[in-house]
Structure 1
Amino acid sequence: MRYLIVFISVLSFATFLIGCRSATLIHDYKNQDIKSFQASRLLVVGISADKEARQLYETTLVESLKKEGVNALKSITFFENSFTDQKQSLQQLKAIEKKLLRARVDAVLFTKITNRKDRVTLVNAYQNFAQSYQTFKNYYYNNQSAYLENKHEQVYTIETSLFCICPGQERELIWRGEMEVIESKRLSRNIHRYKSLLFKTLKQKKLVLN
């Protein structure tokens, strides 16, 4: 029974560590002139050449924002295909700003992946921790792979920027954050990890979410 309790405690702690490190805020910036900001209508923009990933990201984020009481919409349905299929001039972007204002969009949330890298992590850190046998031979035999194996994790650096599109004002940056998200095999899980950290951060900063 004592070993079972130890095992459960270790497993819970390991799960906690994995949960904490799956998404991390590296650094962020907030406009000091803005104490809090609530958007009347927020446009979510995923900057990616992968249309399927962009569709899933924007849909997931917009649906989650709506559950939080935020009036949000997807750029993938708001803009015409030509907006992302070709480069836009500054003059064209001014026309886009006017379109946003006419649609009563007063904030835009941009998200893009800026980097992808390998991270090496320790393997089998808790292997056989709570086994009833604790002889040197068995313990070493079951854990020796930690000397030999390296596990490479893919880590994404994701930059998110919140801009105000307010009538009569400059389209100013309200907040920008850079996060690291450890890649899982499922895209939906990657998005969920990012979204959870993003929402937590925005609430702390008193931006968009209450």
Structure 2
Amino acid sequence: MKKSLILLVIILTGCSSTHIVNNWKNPDIVLFDASKVLIVGMTQNDSAREQFETDLQNEFSKRGVESFRSIDLFDVKFTSSKQSEEELSEVEQQLLDKDFDAILFTKVVGSENKRILRKRISELDEIYGNFHEDYMGHQGIYYESDYYDEFKVYHSETSLYCICVGKERELIWRGAIDITDPVNIDKTVDDYVKLIVVAMEEQDLIFRKEQKNEITGL
């Protein structure tokens, strides 16, 4: 399991601004299948929410799993006001009555600004023989703004919950995912969805990796 997770992180962090920083799976669960899933993307950005939920719905459709977007089930009144525990319990019961058996819930839980020193390639191999040379070569740190790169990191979580009878609200899997300095929403959403799909495939949760024929390799 640890080797698979390390390989997953290496594959998906290469050039992407989106990567998994923590991954947890219910130890009592080996395989988890669902026939009807509610996809929830919690964000105030309506276009990003719609794109995210739609892209994930397409991934479920490719695998023959029925899924619904929260934008199609939750009305504006529901998402624009605080819901009580009783009201959420009613929603869960309605989902059970409609044969839903899982919720895939994604949310941004925080963000932070980061500042790192931009190392100048031309100076990496230089050796300064005295204080004068060293100081003169780096004094721009005091006043040159381009000595530093500033960027924003968004911390998000995607959680898979079982809402099966007798196991309401049970957490099956959770991935903590960082999104670094997103500029293009389309690419960010695409990277995030791909990351979720691969992570769930690795954990045998709803999604399954395609099995190749041992003889033909197809």
TM range, normalised to the smaller chain? 0.7 to 0.9
Looking at structure 2, the residues matched to 178 and 169 of structure 1 have their Cα atoms a distance apart, in angstroms, of 23
Q: Which moved more, 1:68-77 or 1:31-40?
A: 68-77
* Contact 2:32/2:204 (8 A) holds in 1: yes
Looking at structure 2, the residues matched to 97 and 82 of structure 1 have their Cα atoms a distance apart, in angstroms, of 17
For 1:48-87, list aligned pairs within 5 A: 48-87=43-82
DSSP-derived class of the 1:58 partner: helix
Q: Which residue of 2 aligns with 1:165?
A: 163
For 1:85-100, list aligned pairs within 5 A: 85-100=80-95
DSSP-derived class of the 2:100 partner: coil
Q: RMSD value over aligned CA atoms? A: 3.1
Q: Which residue of 2 aligns with 1:149?
A: 147
Count residues with an aligned counterpart: 185
Q: Which moved more, 1:118-127 or 1:23-32?
A: 118-127
Read off the aligned partner of 1:78 and give its amino acid letter: L
Looking at structure 1, the residues matched to 30 and 88 of structure 2 have their Cα atoms a distance apart, in angstroms, of 28
TM-score (norm. length: structure 2) = 0.73
1:46-88 residue CA offsets vs partner (Å, 9 max, x unmatched): 1122222212221122123222333211011012222211111
Looking at structure 2, the residues matched to 24 and 123 of structure 1 have their Cα atoms a distance apart, in angstroms, of 22
1:148-194 residue CA offsets vs partner (Å, 9 max, x unmatched): 53222222111111100102333211111101122332111111121
Looking at structure 1, the residues matched to 15 and 176 of structure 2 have their Cα atoms a distance apart, in angstroms, of 16
Q: Which residue of 1 aligns with 2:97?
A: 102
DSSP-derived class of the 1:119 partner: strand
| Identity in percent | 35
Whether 1:176 aligns to 2:171 is no
Q: Which moved more, 1:179-188 or 1:103-112?
A: 179-188
Q: Which runs of 5+ in 1 are unaligned?
A: 1-15, 128-143
Deviation, 1:124, is: 8.0
Q: Which residue of 2 aligns with 1:197?
A: 195
* Contact 2:48/2:189 (8 A) holds in 1: no
Looking at structure 1, the residues matched to 52 and 203 of structure 2 have their Cα atoms a distance apart, in angstroms, of 22
TM-score (norm. length: structure 1) = 0.75
* Contact 2:111/2:154 (8 A) holds in 1: yes
Structure 1 residue runs of 4 or more that deviate by more than 4 Å after TM superposition: 121-127, 144-148
Read off the aligned partner of 2:39 and give its amino acid letter: V
Deviation, 1:126, is: 7.1
Q: Which runs of 5+ in 2 are unaligned?
A: 1-10, 123-137, 209-218
